[in-house]
Structure 1
Amino acid sequence: MSNSSKKRSGKILIVDDEDGIRYSLKGILEDEEFYVTEAETGEKAIESLEEDQPDLVFLDIWLPGMDGLNVLEYIKKEWEWLPVVMISGHGNIETAVSAIKKGAFDFIEKPLSLEKVVITANKALEFSRLQTENEALKTRIETEQPARLTGVSESISSMRETIKQVAPTDAWVLITGENGTGKEIVARSIHAFSKRNDKPLVAVNCAAIPEELIESELFGHEKGSFTGAEKAQIGKFELADRGTLFLDEIGDMSLKTQAKILRILQEQRFERVGGRKTVNVDVRVIAATNKNLLQEISEGSFREDLYYRLKVFPLEVPPLRERAGDIPLLINEFIERLVRRHGFKQLEFSPETIKIMQNYQWPGNVRELKNFVERMLIMYGGKVVGPDKLPPEILQTPAVAEDKDDSSSTLFLPEGEIDFKQARTEFEARFLEAKLKEFDGSVSKLAEAVGLERSSLYRKLKTYGIQID
C-alpha cells in the first residue's frame, strides 16, 4: 500500500458490470481518500462522465452493450486529457496493446491487487497533473520575456526597490500607466522576485480577446460547450495554478466578466465553460491598465468592488518623458538585443541625436522608442545616426519660449505640424514654470496647489528643465 504522505485527492469513476468489483475498488480507493463514483454499463459511464467530470477512470473491457474499448475511444475523443486504466478478467497481450494504442494509461488484470490499484491510480493522476504543468510551461516559454527594468532615473530606481519589497509577498498588485511604459515588464519582475518564480506566469491581454471568448480563455471549456469548441481546453486560471496570473488591460473587461472574475478571485475556484466540475486554484493576480479606473467606476463601466479587490498594492509606471535620462541606456539595450536576435549591423546614435531624442515626448513611451531603434537598425545598420536621419515628429520637439519672465505670454508652438499630446505637454511645462514663480520657488506649495506628489512633481520639473532654487 502506498505511504499516506503520497495520497492524492481526486475524483475517480469505476466502470464495471460486476457489483463485487465495483464495491472492492470503491473501498480501496475511498480508503486512500479519493472521491469515487460508479457505473455498470458503458452508456451509464458516458452519462457519469458528463455529469461528474472525473479525474481518472477505471474501465472494464467486457461490458454489456457498449464495450470498454468503445467507451475508451469515446473518452479519448471527447476528453483527450482524461487518464483511463483498463481492467479485465480475460486479459491478453493483444487486448492490452489495443487498449494502449487507443490511449489507455495502463492495463491491469483481475483479480485486482490492492497495492497495484492504488499505485496505478496515483501514477495516472500524477501523469494528468504533469500534462497540465507541461501546458503551463509551454505557455510560460512562449510568452515570458526577460524581466528587467532598465534605467538609473529616480523613478525607476525607486520602482525596483518597491518591487523587491512587494514581490516576496502574495499581495495582489494593480499596475497603472500609459500604453507602452512597460507594465508587463514590471509584472514579470514581480513574479521573478516572488516565491512563485518556479511556477508559470500566465499573461492574458483582456483587450485582445473577443467578449464571447474571454470566459473560455480564462476558465477553460468542455468539448461542445459552444460552437467551435471541438475539444476540451484548460483555461489561463488553471494554467497559472500556484503561479501568477497577469491580467493586462483589465479596464477593457466587460461588466459581465468582471462579476465572474470577482467571484473567482474571492473563492479561488470555478467551473469550466459548459462543465460542472469545480476546479480549485491557488493564483496570485497582478492586473494592469492604462485607464483611470476611478473614472471608469464613476461612469459605470468598472466595478468598484473589483477595483478595491485588485488594488491591494498599487504601482504606477512613469511615462518615458518623465525619465528622459534613461533613454541612452534603453537605446543601448535595444540595439544589443536586436543585433543578437536578428543579426543587424551595429548602430550608433550621435550625442546630438540622443539629446534631441531626450527632448522628444515619446507618446508611445518605451514601446515607441524600441520600435524606432529597430527601424533605424534596418535603415542605417553599421552607420552613425545623426540628426539629419531623424523623422520630422522627433525633430519638431516643442521648445520653451525665450521670454520666461512673461508668465502670461501665449503658448509657443514650433513651425510645422504638432499633435495634441505635444501641445498639452508644452502647456503643462509653461504652466508649472509660471506657478512655481507664483509660489516663489516653493515646490511644496506648488505640489499642494496642483494636486501632485512632491516626488512626481520633481520629476516633471526636471524633465521640463525647470530650475528649482
Structure 2
Amino acid sequence: MNHILIVEDDTTFALMLQTWLTKKGFAITSVSGVGAARRALQDEAVDLVLCDLRLPDGEGIDLLEWLNARRQPVPVIVMTSYAAIPSAVQAMKLGAKDYIAMPVNPEDLLQKINEVLGAAARAVEPKQPKPKAAPEEPGYLEGQSEAARQLYSYVRLVAPTSMSVLINGASGTGKEYVAKRIHQLSKRADRPFVAIDCGAIPRELAASEFFGHKKGSFTGAIEDKVGAFVEADGGTIFLDEIGNLSYDVQIQLLRVLQERRVKPIGTTTDIKVDVRLIAATNEDLKAAIAAGTFREDLYHRINEFTIHMPRLCERGEDIPLFANFFLDQANRELEKPVPGFRPDAMEQICRYRWPGNLREMRNTVMRAALLSQGAPVGVEHLGLEVAESAKRTAALHDPESERTKIVAALQHCAGNKSRAAEMLGIDRKTLYNKLKLYHIE
C-alpha cells in the first residue's frame, strides 16, 4: 500500500482528500505546515507528497529545497491556484513531479498520483532492455492543459498507423512539431522526415521540389535534383500549408499518392516510393473545394485522420509554462542569466490573447530577455498591448467584418502586405490566404 503525505492547512479540504484517497487504497498522513511535513518525512516512509504551495509557516518550495538538500528522492505533486501557476512552474524546476490547479478534480488528481507513483516504481526496477523510444523534441513543450492532453492523445493514437493525417490550425500553433512527433512515434521513426512549406514554393517550381528533375529539363535546371518524395522514401513527408498548391500540382500529387510512384521532370521512368503523408493547413479546405480551388478527391486522400491545433489563448493553463520554457531557451541562445518574470509581466502574459500563438510568444520572450539585460522580465520589456490584442482577435473572428478589416488595413498601409499583417495581428502567410479566400486584389 502506497503511503501519501498530505501537506495542507485547510483542514476541511485536507480531510476530504484523506477520506477520498483512503477509499482508493492509499495510506494517508496529513499535516498542516512545512515544519510538520519535515518531521513526518524523517519519521515515516513516504511514497509521495501532495503539498499546497501556500502554507502558514512557509511555502511548498521550501519543502522541495529541504528534500533536495537531504537528497531524499520522494516525488512531490504541488497543489496551487491558477494565479500561482508560475510558482508551480518554479516548483517543478526544483524537482516537483507534477502540479494540479485548484479546485482539484479528484479523478485528475488520482491519475497524476498513479502516473507519478508508476514512474517512481519503474525508476527502482532493474533496467531491462527496451525498444528505442522517440525522444522528446528539445525545442518544444507539450503542455498540461486539457486541450494539450487531448491533442497529444490523438498524436499517440494515430502515430503507429499508416494513415494520412491532416493537421488544421492557425499559424504559429506548432503544426510542424506535431507532424514530427507523429513521425517519431511511428514505425518509420528511423527513416527521413522531410518538411516542405507549400506556401513558400513558386508555383512553377513546385513539381520539381516534389518529384525532382533531370539536368536541362527546363531553364535553370543546371543539375539533377532529387525530389522530396524520393528523399523521404521509407519515411514521412510533411506538406505545410497544402492549400497553397496550384490545381495542376494537386493533380500530380494525387497521382503519386494513388500509385506510389513519381516521375522526375524530364524523365520517362517512374520511381517507386513508400512515404507517409502528413499535411497541414490554416485554411478551410472544404470552402476551397466549394470555391473550386482545391480538389475534393485529394482532400479525402490526405484526410484519413484529422487533428485540430488549439490556439494558445485556448490553452490558458499552458501559457505560463510556455513563457518559462521560452525564457529558458532565450537564456541558452542569448547566453543571458534572466532569472524569470516579474509578477506584473506574468499577469500580462496570461491576459494577452496571443494572436500569433506560440511563434509570437517565443519571439516576444526572446526580445524581452534581450531587453531585460539579465534582470527579471517586466511589462516594459514585453511590449504587449493587451486591450488592443483582444480587439484585433475579436475582429478577425467575426466573419461579417473580417474582409472589411483586411481591406481597410491594406488601404491604410498603401498595399504593403507585411505592414498590414502586422497591423491585423497575423502573419503574412495567413494574410495571403485571406486575400485568396476573399478574392481581394
TM class by smaller structure: 0.5 to 0.7
1:266 aligns with 258
SS of the equivalent of 2:220 reads coil
Q: How far is the alpha carbon of 1:393 from its aligned partner?
A: 2.0
Give, in whole Å, the separation in 1 of the partners of 2:159 and 2:329: 26
Give, in whole Å, the separation in 2 of the partners of 1:235 and 1:424: 38
Give, in whole Å, the separation in 1 of the partners of 2:241 and 2:396: 25
SS of the equivalent of 1:297 reads helix
Q: How far is the alpha carbon of 1:425 from its aligned partner?
A: 6.5
Could you tell me which runs of 5 or more consecutive residues in structure 1 were left unpaired when the two chains were aligned: 1-143, 399-417, 428-469
2:221 aligns with 229
Could you tell me which runs of 5 or more consecutive residues in structure 2 were left unpaired when the two chains were aligned: 1-135, 400-441
2:189 aligns with 197
1:118 aligns with none
SS of the equivalent of 2:190 reads coil
1:214 aligns with 2:209: no
1:182 maps to a residue whose letter is: G
1:284 aligns with 2:267: no
1:300 aligns with 292
2:316 aligns with 324
1:348-368 deviation digits (Å, cap 9, x = unpaired): 212232122212111111100
Correspondence 1:60-71 to 2 at 5 A: none
Give, in whole Å, the separation in 2 of the partners of 1:376 and 1:334: 11
1:80 aligns with none
1:337 aligns with 2:310: no
Give, in whole Å, the separation in 1 of the partners of 2:297 and 2:379: 51
1:305-333 deviation digits (Å, cap 9, x = unpaired): 00011100000000011012211111121
Give, in whole Å, the separation in 1 of the partners of 2:320 and 2:160: 31
2:328 maps to a residue whose letter is: E
Give, in whole Å, the separation in 2 of the partners of 1:300 and 1:355: 46
SS of the equivalent of 2:199 reads coil
Give, in whole Å, the separation in 2 of the partners of 1:176 and 1:165: 17
1:250-302 deviation digits (Å, cap 9, x = unpaired): 00001110000000001110110111111000000000000000011111110
1:181 aligns with 173
1:250 aligns with 242
1:164 maps to a residue whose letter is: R
Contact 1:149–1:160 (Cα < 8 Å) also in 2:
no
Correspondence 1:151-162 to 2 at 5 A: 151-162=143-154
Contact 2:334–2:370 (Cα < 8 Å) also in 1:
no
Contact 1:191–1:201 (Cα < 8 Å) also in 2:
yes
Provide closer, same or farther for how the CA distance between residues 397 and 211 of structure 1 changes in structure 2, counting only shifts above 3 A: closer
Q: How far is the alpha carbon of 1:381 from its aligned partner?
A: 3.3
2:347 aligns with 355
Give, in whole Å, the separation in 1 of the partners of 2:147 and 2:163: 22
1:101-141 deviation digits (Å, cap 9, x = unpaired): xxxxxxxxxxxxxxxxxxxxxxxxxxxxxxxxxxxxxxxxx
1:294 maps to a residue whose letter is: K
Contact 2:141–2:322 (Cα < 8 Å) also in 1:
no
Report the number of matched residues.
265
Contact 1:149–1:156 (Cα < 8 Å) also in 2:
no
Give, in whole Å, the separation in 1 of the partners of 2:380 and 2:368: 12
Contact 2:326–2:362 (Cα < 8 Å) also in 1:
yes
1:240 aligns with 2:232: yes
Percent identity reads 45
Question: What's the TM-score once normalised by structure 2's chain length?
Answer: 0.57
Give, in whole Å, the separation in 2 of the partners of 1:245 and 1:425: 31
Give, in whole Å, the separation in 1 of the partners of 2:256 and 2:397: 41
1:309 aligns with 301
1:170-200 deviation digits (Å, cap 9, x = unpaired): 1110000001110001100100100100001
1:42-82 deviation digits (Å, cap 9, x = unpaired): xxxxxxxxxxxxxxxxxxxxxxxxxxxxxxxxxxxxxxxxx
Question: What's the TM-score once normalised by structure 1's chain length?
Answer: 0.54
Larger Rg: 1
SS of the equivalent of 1:159 reads helix
Give, in whole Å, the separation in 2 of the partners of 1:227 and 1:425: 44
Q: How far is the alpha carbon of 1:337 from its aligned partner?
A: 2.0
Give, in whole Å, the separation in 2 of the partners of 1:146 and 1:286: 21
1:155 maps to a residue whose letter is: A
1:291 maps to a residue whose letter is: E
